[in-house]
Structures are given as C-alpha cells and as structure tokens.
Structure 1
C-alpha cells in the first residue's frame, strides 16, 4: 500500500501519528512555561520586601543564594530529565514540570523565612529544568526534519508572547489586587495581595499541567528507549558530543542561553546605573527606561523567531548555527560602541541584540535533532540544556565581575567573544558534520503509547 503523504498544519510537516492538536499543545506549553519562568524572577522582589518583611541588608545575599540554589538544582537534574523522557515518554516529564512550578508558586507567599524560600526555589527550579528540556524535545518530535527550523521559530514566538504576558500583565496583579483590597496599604495588605496573585498564577499553571496530560502525544518516538537503563541514557547524552555536529550544538547552546540571561540581567542594570549616576534620573525613571530597552530587545526577538526558523530550514543546519552565532557576536560586541545607554543608539543596539539572541537560540536545536538517534533524543536535549545552564553561570560570573571593574558593556563583550569562539569551532568542524539518514531521525515514530 502506498505511503500516505505527511500531514501539514500551520505550514509544518507533522511526524507520523502527530495531530494538529498535539502541535497546538506544544505551542501552549511554550507560552505557559515561559510565562511562569519569567513571572517568578520578576515578582521575587515582592516576596523579599513584602512577605519576608524587607530584610534590607540581607536582600543581596538572599537573591544570590536563591539564584545559586536554582542553578545547581537545574544542572544536577537536567540530564536525568532527558533520560526519564526517553525512558517513560515526554508527557509525564512535561506534566511534572508544570506541577512542580505550580505548587511552588502557590506556596511562595507563605514562606516565613529564607530557608523555606530557598527550598521552594529549588522545587521551582526542578520544574523549570523539566520544562526547558521538554520544550526543545517536543518541538523536534512533532515535525519532520524539513520543518524543524520553523517549529523552533514558532516555539520562540509563543515563548516570547508568554514572557510579555508575564512582565506586562501578571507582575501587575499584586498592585491591582492591593488597590481593590483597600485597607491602609501596609504590609498586611501587601502579603494578602501577594498570596492572591500567586494563587491565581498557580491555578493557571496547574490547569495547564492537566491540559498537557490530555493533549501531549503519548506516541513513543522510539520504543527501544523504554528498555535502556537511565544511567546509560544519561551517559549516552554526554557521549554523543563525539559527533562534530552535536558538539557544535552543545557549544552554541552554552553561549545562546547565557546571551538570554545577560540581556535580562545586565541590560536594564546598565541603563539604571547610568541613568541614576550620570543621567539625572530618579530610580523609578531609570528602571522604566531600562525596561523600555529590554522591551525593545525582547519584542524584536519575539518577532524575529519565525523568520530565523524559516531561514534555518533553508540552510544546512551547521551553517545556520554559524550565521546565528556570528550575528549574535556582532550584536553583543556592538555594545562597546555605546557611550550613552540613554541615547537612541542604545535602542538600535538593543534591537540588534534581540535578533542575535533569538537567532542563536533557534538554530542550535534543529542541528542537534539532525545528528542524534531518536532513542536518546531527549537525553541529548537534556545535556544541551545543561550546557546552557553552565554557560549562564560562567559567562554571567565573568561578565558580572568585569561590569564593575572594567565597564558596563563587559558582560556583552564576554558573550560576543564566546560567540566568536563558537564560530571558529564551527568553521573547523562544519565539513565534518554528516547528517544522520532520514529513516534514523524519528520521522516515523513507533505507534506505541508511552507508559503514563
């Protein structure tokens, strides 16, 4: 019997057994995951100032402790989540990720001390690790190789929209609720507003978890992975780096994820510090200006995601990574030309940074999918996401140190140099990148439900 033509939806060629509903579920997953991942850091000052009664002198230490605990939890768990997804299927890991994020969000405003807050932050980070690894994996599982760039582009688009909803809508909930509660506007009202706000967000996230249980495909990409021990799957994820294409994808993720973190952390800080010290702005005005600059970068990144996804399907995967990393490096190094972060030139640089940031993120995933067998695909994406987490730690630490000792553009310069090193590595190995044969790329998943 003649093979049926591949199904198409939203311009994407779907893998066998994948429905349009499954693909829509992956977009909802990207939106909701990025929304909650963005919401917590943005709302964290409310927890420190309101719920913990403003332990002013300790706030810097607490923030650093929370960040360190979260990164360590992610680094330790990411490879195991990938192995679990290969062994038991994607759906249980996705649902677990949303459930952990939702439950910890619900409990955050009830943390009476720093120890409890750190413990909840670790639980939240474990949920984030599960979602980060599965976003890339599901985006690749659901479409054929020819559409994987566009699939990543759509994931980037919906992730950007989720981030915008978080920073423009959800973080304003406490202020809205506090006004409606009335009272004297003291700490009690702030605590109540925080608890109601986090309750609303938690209910949304837990509802998404339930939705994912129903809508994420139960079809296994490769039935053989159900019989592979977890330790072997984790080990295989690291061993795959012997392939030049996989090594390039891992290196690109190391830089790309750090780029994203640097934009969120250091771009507004640069603007605020300069605005207060030299620009004559009040702290509130400086924060607003910094938010506008970041908003330009993220808006351009969101709009550019589908464009770079489309472009990635028209270039060789390794060439797409090289173009993206080169663009990102130029964008980040261009910050060295900015003397006044309050001037119009900064907006142009922010737009360029947004393009480079999303290009680097969108291009690395399809290259990895092209190079790894389906039986260990999620394990490979777990290691790739781990590389990104380590990149955030290393580049942020070096750039943060140089921010004060050299110049505010230092973190971006460090990221730019790291991007150039990836380009140099890519030029060395690009001719040695040999795509796996199509029949080994999971184009036709085995129709077997995963173990719930």
Structure 2
C-alpha cells in the first residue's frame, strides 16, 4: 500500500520555522540596518560632515567580510548543522544591534559593530540556501529510491524556492512597515532622537533573539542533519575510538579539511550544470538587488539634477548627500519606481516556483527572467526620462520596472531551485552508488590484492560518495558568488556611472542577464 505523499520532507514546524523565521528575517534585519544607519551616524554619533563617506565605507566593509564569512559559515554548517548556524547567526545579529548603538565614534566602534552584524548576517543569509534542500529533499533510510520519489524531491524544491522568494520579499516589507517607523513612534512618546534610535535597535535586537530561539527549537531533527552538533568539531578527527553512536559514525564521514571541503563545493560548479547555473544565478540575483535599490534612485537623482528640476539653477542640489531633503521629487519618483519593481517581484515569486517545478529540464522560467532583465535594464538605460508623466515621461516606465522586478525575483527563485536540484541530484547519485556497492560487494582481501579484481570495477571514493553532505559548503559558495556580484556592480557600475554614462550600470546588468541566459540555453539544450 502506497503511503500518502507529502509536499516537503520536513515537518510542518520545521517548514514554517524556515519560511516564517529564517527566510524573511534574514532580509528584514539587513534592510533595517541599511536604512537606519545614516540616522545612527548623524543623530546618535553626531557626525554632520562626511556621513555619506562613513555610511559607504561601513557598507563596503560589511560586504567584504560577508564575502569571506559566507563560505566559512557554509562549511561549518556541514559539521555542526544548519540549525546551530541559524541559531548562532541570529544571536550574533541581536548582539550586534545592541552594541551598534553603544558606539561613540565611527572608527573603530561603529565599524566593529557593523562587522559583527555582517558576521551574523552572513550566517543567516547562507542558511537560507543551505536549509532548502533539507526541507524539500527526500530523506530515506531505505536502500532503494524510486524515480518518482526523486522527481517529487526536485518538484518540492522548486515550489519551496518560490515560497522562499515570497517570504524574503515579505521580510523587506516587515522592515519597512514595522521596524523603520519605530524611531518616529518613540519620538512621539517624548524620547529624543538619539534615545528613539537606541530603543528601536534594542527592540529589533529582541526580535532577532526570539528568532534565534525559534530556530533552535523549530529546526530540530531536520532530515539529513542527523548527528551534526558542536561536538563534531573536536570529535570528527579522532581515530581509533569505538563508534559510540550516530554522531560518531556521522563524524567519520567528514575527514576533509575545511578548505578542501570548500574547494570541492567550488569545483562542483564546473562539474554539475545545475550547481553552476545556481551559482551564476546567485551572482545575477544579488547584483540585481544593488541595481534596483542603489542605481535606479541614483539615476533618477542624476536626471533631476542635470535637468534643473530640483529647484537649483545650476542643476546642483543644496545638499546632495541627502536625496530625500535635497530633491524631494526625485526621492518620490525613485520610491515609486523601486516600489513597483518590488511589488511585481513579490507577486511573481510563487509563479516562478510553480513554473520551475513544471520546467526542470529546460530551465524556461530562468531563461524568461534573464530575457526580461536584459530587455528591462537595456530599455531603462535608453529612456529619455525616468518619469511616468510630463513631456518626456511615459507610463511605459512601469512596464520596464515590472520587467526588472521579474528579472530579480526570477534569478532569486530559479537559482535557489536549480541549486537545490543539483544538490538533490548528488544525493540520488550517492544512493545509487551505495546500492551498487551493496549489490556488488568487494571485501577487504580483494582490495589488498588489486590483481584479483576486475579491471572495470568502480567503487566511488569517500569524497565522491558524500558530496550531498556538502550542501552547506555549496550554499557558502553560492553566497560568495552573490557577494562578488554586489561588489563588482557597485564598484564598476559606480565608476562607469561617473566616467561614461548614467546608464552604464544598467548595461552591465543587461550583460549579466545575457550571460546567464546564454548559460541556461547551453545547459538546457545541449
């Protein structure tokens, strides 16, 4: 009798903890600190000149540390488990938020606080990717896995990736609707601006601590995470000791050094087409977030200043460091455009998850998202005006923003789906190899006398057989690619924006989407 099939392998508590805890708040806390850090610099520390440079330096330092920390957290999660990394990450975020508003100067106190936040944020953002295969993937102790089960696992990962994209978008909304208005509300209750900011950070830190506790209990006993604990760190390399249980037998699977583990995860991108597409998709997805949140407002501001629409005769704003105050019209238009793109992205996330499930072989949703991005970014760079009304404006800019939003969420959802499918395919290959070994056993004596063995007999090595257990390392490399995308677009796009044209960053994004489109075509049709 066939047992009823469930959507995800994980329990309901584990799935809801992942979707409503890990996914949205990994974004919410980042949006909160990025949006409020300027107020910390000006109101709490009292820096009135050079706040733009200070905020930019803090953000750049954050990304540099995250670039290194994400792969390390991923490798560590393969040893201690994604549950412990999530718990630790959110606890670090809570501590960083509290210490952040204790700073009396930008360097070194505020910088150290931002780096601590980056360390925790890198942990939780990496685990968004690492937990997905554990929640969606099939996990069975049986010796044989049917083809239908493997298809169900891949299907579940595609659906779950759509939910992840939607929940991540909701996390940004939580930050904008709940967290960011907190200082204003505290001020209405009679607190000074500095005190209001401190109380806001304390409250958000308390939320992070609650999420940490929820992850500790809600992610217990995830499928495929058996035996992973902090004790593995010092027991994994002990040899010659009797097997004392599941944790010990699990630890023996991991004799690879950390850097070698990371190197294998990186090399898988050149050996597995799904994992390669996932890595490249992560690169484009994270770069898209910068293109929308940074360069679209910058391009709008540039257009208004050069057109003399900010109330200044020479096109220069009185205070170019604060777009909201110096050119309110540009600020409003930038908010509308980015808001439209994010709304479209939020609504399209479940659709991309569903379509990814229906088209796993050809990656059609990913190709469609890349094509939308190529057209959207190129068109935006060629627009005579970013306005939706006026002499040179057109309502068609909303269509362009919709294409950009579709491109961003498509890259996020499809890259997670494809990457998870690649990890699950490693697990399926691993099970097939183990079944072949059981059906064709080779005893120790035959191993010692190689001349007695058939020439064509193949037994996969330890590294080959346990690649699926490197999902944390793979998630870390995925985040590494994403961080590289952010840094490349930020520095190169910003430089070309000043030197060549205000449309240069968008041509770069069009090129990124074109490269991913080409890679998807090659992977799906060859």
Consecutive unaligned residues of structure 1, counting only runs of 5 or more, are 8-12, 183-188, 433-452
CA distance in 1, matches of 2:250, 2:491: 38
**Aligned-partner SS, 1:66:** helix
TM-superposed CA distance for 1:225, in Å, is 6.3
Q: Deviations over 1:365-415 (max 9, x none)?
A: 221222233311121111011101001111221111122223322212101
- 2:392 pairs with 1:324: no
How much has 1:222 moved relative to structure 2?
Answer: 5.9
Cα shift at 1:431? 4.3
RMSD between aligned residues: 1.9
Given candidates 417, 436, 441, the residue that maps to 1:366 is 417
Mean CA deviation greater in 127-136 or 59-68: 59-68
In structure 2, do the counterparts of structure 1 residues 335 and 413 end up closer, same or farther at CA, with 3 Å as the change threshold? same
- Equivalent residue in structure 2 for 1:26, among 18, 24, 35: 18
Residue 130 of structure 1 corresponds to which residue in structure 2? Answer: 123
1:302 is matched with: 346
Q: Deviations over 1:41-83 (max 9, x none)?
A: 0001101111120241x22321232122111111111111111
CA distance in structure 2 between the aligned counterparts of 1:132 and 1:50, rounded to whole angstroms: 29
User: Aligned partners of 2:332, 2:101: CA distance in 1, in Å?
Assistant: 26
Contact 1:335 1:413 in 2 (8 A): no
Match of 1:168 among 171, 177, 183: 177
Equivalent-residue separation in structure 1 for 2:2 and 2:125 (angstroms): 35
| 1:285 corresponds to | 329
Residue 241 (structure 1) aligns with: 269
State the SS of the aligned residue for 1:238: helix
In the alignment, which residue of structure 1 is the partner of 2:111? Answer: 118
User: How far is 1:92 from its partner?
Assistant: 0.5
For normalisation by structure 2, the TM-score amounts to 0.76
By how many angstroms is 1:94 displaced? 0.6
Q: Report the CA distance between 1:34 and its aligned residue.
A: 1.3
- Contact 2:134/2:223, CA 8 A, preserved across alignment: no
Query: Which residue is equivalent to 1:85?
Result: 77
Match of 2:215 among 212, 216, 220: 212
Q: Per-residue deviation at 1:285?
A: 3.4
Which residue of structure 1 aligns with residue 40 of structure 2? 47
Give the conservation status (yes or no) of the 8 Å contact 1:253–1:384: yes
Is 2:166 aligned against 1:157?
yes
**1:445 corresponding residue in structure 2:** none
| 2:58 paired residue among 55, 66, 69 | 66
Question: Tell me, which stretches of 5 or more residues in structure 2 are unaligned?
Answer: 137-152, 227-248, 311-325, 389-394, 427-467
Secondary structure of the residue that 2:386 maps to in structure 1? coil
Deviations 1:151-170 (A, max 9, x none): 11111111111101212331
Aligned twin of 1:146 = 155
Q: Could you say what secondary structure the match of 1:53 adopts?
A: coil
1:108 to 76, 100, 103: 100
Paired with 2:116 and 2:128, the residues of 1 have a C-alpha distance of 19
- Mark the structure with the bigger radius of gyration: 2
Q: 1:260 aligned to 289, 299, 305, which one?
A: 289
Distance 2:223 2:123 in 1: 18
**Number of residue equivalences:** 417
Q: Aligned to 2:476, which of 369, 379, 382? A: 382
Instruction: Considering fraction of residues, name the structure with more helix.
Output: 1
Which of residues 255, 279, 283 is equivalent to 1:250? 279
Q: Cα–Cα, structure 1 residues 108 and 30, in superposed 2: closer, same or farther, change >3 Å? A: same
Matched, 1:352 2:381: no
Q: Distance in 2 between matches of 1:98 and 1:113?
A: 25
Equivalent residue number for residue 4 of structure 1: 3
- Mapped to 1, the partners of 2:379 and 2:408 lie a distance apart of 13
Q: Alpha carbons of 1:348 and 1:225: their partners in 2 closer, same or farther (altered >3 Å)?
A: farther
TM-score, scaled relative to structure 1: 0.87
